Structure 1
Amino acid sequence: MRKASRFLVTTGIVLLAACSAEDRDAPELASSDVQALRDTRGLPLRVDDLFLQLPSGGSGALSLQLSRSERERVSADNGQASFTLSLSAREPSVEFNDLGRDLDARAGDGLFTGAVSVNVDLLTQLNREVSRLRETTVRRFVPGSRVVSGSERIETTSAIDLEALRRGATVRLPRIGELGALRTLGAVTTASINPQKSLLIRSLPVIEDPARTMNPCNAAAANNPLKKWTFGHLMEQMAQGSGLSASDFVKHWLNAWRAQQSVTATGGAPVLDATSDVAAANVDSLILNPWKQRSGGGALNLSIAPFRLQAIVYRSDLAQSSPYGGASAGNSGGELRFVFGAMEVRDANGDGDANDAGDTCQPIEMSPIFEFGVPLSSCTDIKAWANAWANLSTLLPGQPAYGAALEALTEAVVVHGAAPAKPNQSALNQLRTNEIDLSGIWQLREFVLPAPGGPLTQTTTKNNPREHQEASTSVPGVTPAPIDMNGSPALLTEILSSMGDPGYQVPELSGGAPFLGGASTYNFNTFWDHPALSSPAEIEARFTFSSNTCSGCHTRETDTSFYHIRPAGPGASPTLSALLQNSSLLVTDVRGLSHTFAEMDNRKQALASLANQTCGFRVGLPPFQLTRVPLASTH
């Protein structure tokens, strides 16, 4: 009996070209133009292109072009050159074969073909919409990266060559879904996505919305009850199920700065964070003691938490939405993030607020970022979610409709019970911090909710090796020596291991020893490098590895000065790094390689891709948008 596999398709680049059936054996695309299929076990199967033909029988013939090695894998997994895909649980699966059977024109040519529903009227309408777009060039990115690899221009006169289709020719499908949003593909509007409304929201009407935010300088009465976009509300929701009150939950988290933390890596080896002797005094002096004093000396009053909202961010580039497998294939809606800035708030005259002469209410260099995983797994749910974010671009921040729409999106993710299977039933993936005023050195930390539940616990900083500052990260005979930024054998091993894998994640152990650190300490000249790296491929791998670390991403690899979103005090919006501000940022690294970043274009295209994906083979449109490769670095 033949074994059938289900595969998950992930997007690279689909170039526009018309070709006849005789032209199907065209040269394969470059590696940066590759699509990847991932089965439910996460094994990659690469697809180089998508083609469509309209046979006289009625159903469309959708063909997926596979390389020779991938054809061999399909045959090994399934016993023959075929596999099945299901775009919807409510629809029958579709078999794709390269056996010369059914709609497959020729056996063994690398084109796996299946029958899909095609509505030419819808294709005509889609072409018409594309012709009205002002921007018809799509930037290409290295899969799993924010680095630009080229661009693709969609012809507005004939995005899809309908005349060739009607003649029975086979045409290559363009990646028009990322131009969006397009009504024919199910999006709410054809207007351009405005990142300041739909992706990185930091305008004053939002971050100082009187109905949903608070001003740490004000008295408790002005900030009660806890409002939906406040530090206090998020902490209160996460604390449920932890066994602690919300006040003790926050104190437990802040106590991480009161003593050096030993983070236990896999295998039980302790890895220290980096902190200084003054950290305990700093966290007490700047945050805890003034907060306790304003709270009456007992439990911390979360309505006067000294943390001001700086931005609400939807990370569409971290989503993985494919109709080809659902949650078992790793589908998720990306991340919803809340960025806060810590404040030094002192009420000198004891009247409850910090607005008087002699009072203090000013930002300090410390930013916590709450990063929630959007708990969605079905194509249709993620598509609707993305359309709701895209629709924010049609509304005006500060108006009731915008606030209500954004609140509905955020509350669906942050409330207790949003993710029943996760610790504390919270959708939190991690809470990250970026600061110098508490520890005395520039440092990034990462906290998670432990299974099966409990308070926030410091964990290893993902993708960042053990730090290079001996005095603050290692105790001889107790903890392993730190990784040298410019020469450790383990660093060389991992950089070489990462070559050619855009989704590479730095392991917690390397050679049996802890490799990730308990925190990331860094300075402006942070690069991860090794003198043994010499070939162009090795030097490119060095850049990818280093730019995916916390310390590299926040400093020289992206020409950033510590913050990507630098907190501001009341009445001001935070400033953005050049990476987030510029539509195109050229950076030359320590080895002389130059790379172009287009961060917000990448996020816009990811949102359009999610909003415009086709969640079924029976809707009359072929799946133009497959699943994008999620960003390997989550910074």
Structure 2
Amino acid sequence: MGPSKQIFTLAISAAIILLSLSWNRNNKKDQQQNNSSSYDAFFSSRRAAADFSDFDAGITNEFDWAYNLSNPKKIPPADDVMVQRIPGDNFHILVMAVYANASFREKFVTINNGGEDVVLRDDGTGNDKVAGDGVYTAKIYTDVKEFRKQALSMLKETIKDNWEPLFVDREFNYSKACDTNPFSEIKFDNNEAVSISNLTAAPAGSTTLDKVRNNCIFLTDLSVVEDPTRTWNCCTQTGNVDGPWTFKTLMKNLATQDPSQPASDQTVSDFVKAWLNSWAVQKIINEDTVPARTLVNDKILNPWLAKSLAAGNPEGFLDMRFAPFKLTAIVNRFDLRERASGIPAGEGRMIFCLINADCTTAENFTTIFEYGINKKDVCDSLKSWATQWFKLKDLTLGSSQYLSALQAITDQFTLCGSNPNRTHQSSIDAVRTNEVALAATDPPRWEFREFGLNGNVHALVQKTVSQIPADRYNAQIDNADVERMVKFVNENSAGIDSDAYEVPNIYDGFAFLGGKSTILDTPVGLPTKPYHWDGVNNNKSVAFISTTKTRHIFSRNACSGCHAGEVQTFFTHVDPVFFGTAATLSGFLTGTAGRGGAVDADGNPSNDAFKVRDAANRGNGTERFHVFNDIKRRATDLKQVATTTCTTVFSLRNELMFHPVGAVH
């Protein structure tokens, strides 16, 4: 942010503060009424718990949760959001963001709400009652009567849905299902502070939400992924090889450097061949040895070249009509917005699996094209993008209208030119692979690789895998490497718990991120056998991860943890399938146990909730189990944003409580 913009923003913030102080002086009588016994009763516990000894020192955790005009997104999600009427004022309301004691220690929180910065204070001045108690207060404009009407309508729907538990991070949190201080009409009318955190515009069990889940989030239906107008069948040579969702077209868009000069077929062939050839060469990436997977020649490259030659092409040319990849899913990752690594509006993804050379079955090889959405990180822009996806719910899945609308969405991130400020003007964030088909080891090991578009060589180049230390750090024995990994986890526990951390390339003077990630044990079954990330089980050792929650989130955010024992997933969240079969999904995604013997700890396959015992067999009570249904979580989030008007109390609530996803999956 430039100096002039900072000065302007500071001026606006100062004006807001002065207005708040002015309101406070001119409404002393109302402020006294506001300090009612019921108000004091609610905040007395927070006042008693407040520790002022280091408040002015501005102590922050490892990730510097600071009020920072140049980086205002470094604010953790609030534990609760409350509202309170101002006696005699029908056009303003107090909004309070509540943080657990000491989880956030700054004097201000600033949130952009529909183009306006709202400053919530915890310094005991203006509308804030007690400095340092973790309750951040702002007075905002709203039609109180309309707000009350909307809140009561939402309350009725929430009650009708039996106080459906909220998602906290990526899990169902039943302790948040019915707050100790839920919205109450009587309390609100008596000018008491009441929670609005559990009021949702979309009850989780509603018909609308089911349509969002089916039509707007994770699209695997054959009417979509095998649409003959937009996809291609390499085995029957039918469809449209130049369709917008084909492997050829996506690779062509990556190989194209200027949208006005599309890459030639020869350029696309060279681009794809260079990517495949890179698998056959051993590499050292961040001091991590990535062994060659030479089966890439036998299973992919040589059969493809042979078919291309037989069809009359020059020797060494890859004819994209024989590209052995089938589209299995189109995925909306709007929920990835505001991730710590910088994805302001989330991602869109296209997932393919490998088809064997004989065209008889699918191979255990998945390729994912992950595109960052080139939209502004402001309410109006995010709501507009969410609404485009949300409207798909009103169309018949697979109809011509639906497919046209979906293509209009995907074109915004798959085409060259969709982000002029990035390499090849492409929106691509990464191309990831998850495969065991090319493993020549005994036993064969599933391996994850990550590729980025490199503008210097105009190629997909393998790089470190995000958020995952090298395999040697997960030996789960007490040695120097494991102790180093555990040191990082323990030192950064607060950031990990808030999903706001980055695993660095170098840590403590040593290469840390892996050049690849491998699943080194069985993926599903009863703990602690399934593969997961951990130190050692001896709590007296420096190789012991101190906190159960931190260990789980760190492991779950590593691909080799999430695709294995941490969430009981049998290697793939989207299972490879042959043409004519829709891909099945993991229990983590759907709420119902997936393939390979995944264990649903509650034994109930129809309750829309996949319950997983802690992979390290740690924790007591709720920490012992983790309950997932990620598609439902994503659908709830999408509908909430799409149906909430910007600049309102509820849009502010949504932003304050939004929990960015720290994982890449």
Please classify the TM superposition score into its range, dividing by the shorter chain length.
Answer: 0.7 to 0.9
- Give ranges in structure 2 of 5+ residues lacking alignment: 1-6, 15-35, 50-64, 523-529, 593-607, 619-623
Which residue does the alignment assign to 2:617?
A: 592
2:619 maps to 1:601: no
Residues 115-514 of structure 1 correspond to what in structure 2 (within 5 A)? 115-119=139-143, 120-128=145-153, 130-132=155-157, 135=161, 137-143=163-169, 146-153=170-177, 160-177=183-200, 179=202, 192-219=210-237, 222-224=238-240, 226-241=242-257, 245-263=267-285, 265=286, 270-276=287-293, 278-291=295-308, 293-294=310-311, 296-297=313-314, 299-320=317-338, 330=342, 332-345=344-357, 360-376=359-375, 377-440=377-440, 441=444, 442-451=446-455, 454-468=458-472, 484-487=475-478, 488-500=482-494, 501-502=496-497, 503=499, 504-514=501-511
Which residue does the alignment assign to 1:63?
A: 96
Give the letter for the 1:250 counterpart.
Answer: V
Contact in 1 for aligned 2:228/2:240 (Cα 8 Å)? no
Partner of 1:59: helix, strand, or coil?
strand
Give the letter for the 2:334 counterpart.
Answer: S
Which residue does the alignment assign to 1:33?
A: none
Distance 2:67 2:200 in 1: 21
2:534 maps to 1:529: yes
* Cα gap change, 1:203 to 1:3, in 2 (>3 Å): closer
Q: Deviations over 1:9-48 (max 9, x none)?
A: xxxxxxxxx9942334154599xxxxx8874435446744
Q: Deviations over 1:466-494 (max 9, x none)?
A: 234xxxxxxxxxxxxx7634343323323
Partner of 1:392: helix, strand, or coil?
helix
Q: Which range moves more in the overlay, 398-407 or 540-549? A: 540-549
Contact in 2 for aligned 1:181/1:612 (Cα 8 Å)? no
Q: Deviations over 1:388-413 (max 9, x none)?
A: 22222232212122111211111111
Give the letter for the 1:632 counterpart.
Answer: G
TM-score of the two chains, using structure 2 as the length reference: 0.75
Contact in 2 for aligned 1:147/1:597 (Cα 8 Å)? yes
* Cα gap change, 1:136 to 1:505, in 2 (>3 Å): farther
Find 2:41's aligned residue among 23, 28, 36: 23
Give the letter for the 1:127 counterpart.
Answer: L
Contact in 1 for aligned 2:545/2:551 (Cα 8 Å)? no
Q: Deviations over 1:72-94 (max 9, x none)?
A: 632xxxxxxx56544233x4x44
Contact in 2 for aligned 1:331/1:378 (Cα 8 Å)? no
Distance 2:218 2:292 in 1: 31
Give the letter for the 2:584 counterpart.
Answer: T
- Give ranges in structure 1 of 5+ residues lacking alignment: 8-17, 31-35, 75-81, 184-188, 322-327, 347-359, 469-481
Partner of 1:365: helix, strand, or coil?
strand
Give the letter for the 2:227 counterpart.
Answer: D
Contact in 2 for aligned 1:19/1:169 (Cα 8 Å)? no
Find 2:514's aligned residue among 514, 517, 539: 517
* Cα gap change, 1:22 to 1:492, in 2 (>3 Å): closer
Q: Which range moves more in the overlay, 133-142 or 225-234? A: 133-142
Partner of 1:364: helix, strand, or coil?
strand
Distance 1:547 1:533 in 2: 21
* Cα gap change, 1:465 to 1:123, in 2 (>3 Å): same
Deviation of 1:343 after TM superposition, in Å, equals 1.3
Give the letter for the 1:410 counterpart.
Answer: T
Give the letter for the 1:549 counterpart.
Answer: A
Distance 2:378 2:642 in 1: 13
Give the letter for the 1:491 counterpart.
Answer: M
* CA RMSD after TM alignment: 3.7
> Whose helix proportion is higher, 1 or 2?
2
TM-score of the two chains, using structure 1 as the length reference: 0.78
* Cα gap change, 1:510 to 1:290, in 2 (>3 Å): farther
Distance 2:112 2:439 in 1: 51
* Cα gap change, 1:114 to 1:312, in 2 (>3 Å): same
* Cα gap change, 1:225 to 1:275, in 2 (>3 Å): closer
* Cα gap change, 1:450 to 1:178, in 2 (>3 Å): farther
Q: Deviations over 1:485-514 (max 9, x none)?
A: 434332332332342322233222222221
Contact in 1 for aligned 2:202/2:639 (Cα 8 Å)? yes
Distance 1:467 1:404 in 2: 44
Partner of 2:397: helix, strand, or coil?
coil
Deviation of 1:620 after TM superposition, in Å, equals 7.2
Distance 1:431 1:194 in 2: 27
Residues 86-105 of structure 1 correspond to what in structure 2 (within 5 A)? 86-89=112-115, 91=116, 93-98=117-122, 103-104=127-128
* Cα gap change, 1:407 to 1:64, in 2 (>3 Å): same
Give the letter for the 2:533 counterpart.
Answer: W
Partner of 1:449: helix, strand, or coil?
strand
Q: Which has the higher contact order (CA 8 A, sep 6+)?
A: 1
Distance 1:529 1:412 in 2: 40
Distance 1:72 1:174 in 2: 21
* Cα gap change, 1:68 to 1:129, in 2 (>3 Å): closer
2:635 maps to 1:625: no
Q: Which range moves more in the overlay, 223-232 or 528-537? A: 528-537
Quote the sequence identity (%): 26
Which residue does the alignment assign to 1:356?
A: none
Give the letter for the 1:73 counterpart.
Answer: E
Deviation of 1:532 after TM superposition, in Å, equals 6.0
